[in-house]
Structure 1
Amino acid sequence: MGEDNEINAARDGDSVDVMLAEWRSEWPELDVSSSAVMARLLRAARLVEELLATRLRRSAEMPIANVGDFDLLQALRRSGAPYALTPGQLRQALVVSSAGLTGRLKRLEGEGWIERCPSPVDGRSTLVRLTEEGRARFDRTVERHFQVERDVLSVLDPEERTVIADALRKLLLSLKQDTR
Structure 2
Amino acid sequence: MDTRFDIDPGGGDSMDAMLGQWQRQRPQLDVSSGGVIGRVLRAARLTEELMEDGLRRQEGRSIANVGDLDVLLALRRASPPYVLTPGQLRESLIVSSAGLSGRLKRLERAGWINRTASPDDRRSSRVSLTEDALPELDRRIAAYFALERNLVSVLEPEEKAAVADALRKLLVRLETAP
Please, what TM-score do these two structures have when normalized by structure 1?
0.89
CA RMSD of aligned residues (A): 1.8
Distance 2:162 2:59 in 1: 33
Percent identity of equivalent pairs: 55
Q: How many angstroms does 1:9 deviate by?
A: 9.0
Asked if the contact 1:61–1:141 (Cα under 8 Å) also holds between the matched residues in 2, the reply is: no
> 1:1-180 maps to which residues of 2 (within 5 A)?
12=10, 13-54=12-53, 56-61=54-59, 63-179=62-178
Structure 2: gaps spanning 5 or more residues: none
Distance 2:7 2:47 in 1: 26
Distance 1:126 1:66 in 2: 23
Q: How many angstroms does 1:137 deviate by?
A: 1.7
Distance 1:131 1:124 in 2: 22
Distance 2:73 2:28 in 1: 46
Distance 2:87 2:154 in 1: 37
Corresponding residue pairs, total: 172
Q: Which has the higher helix share?
A: 1
Distance 2:121 2:130 in 1: 21
Q: How many angstroms does 1:95 deviate by?
A: 1.0
Asked if the contact 1:113–1:131 (Cα under 8 Å) also holds between the matched residues in 2, the reply is: yes
Q: How many angstroms does 1:72 deviate by?
A: 0.5
Q: How many angstroms does 1:61 deviate by?
A: 2.5
Q: Which amino acid aligns with 1:113?
A: W
The 1:129/1:8 distance shift into structure 2, 3 A limit, reads closer
Distance 2:67 2:90 in 1: 11
Name the SS for the 1:132 alignment partner: coil
Structure 1: gaps spanning 5 or more residues: 1-6
Distance 1:114 1:169 in 2: 32
Distance 1:8 1:108 in 2: 41
Asked if the contact 1:57–1:65 (Cα under 8 Å) also holds between the matched residues in 2, the reply is: yes
The 1:125/1:21 distance shift into structure 2, 3 A limit, reads same
Q: Which amino acid aligns with 2:56?
A: R
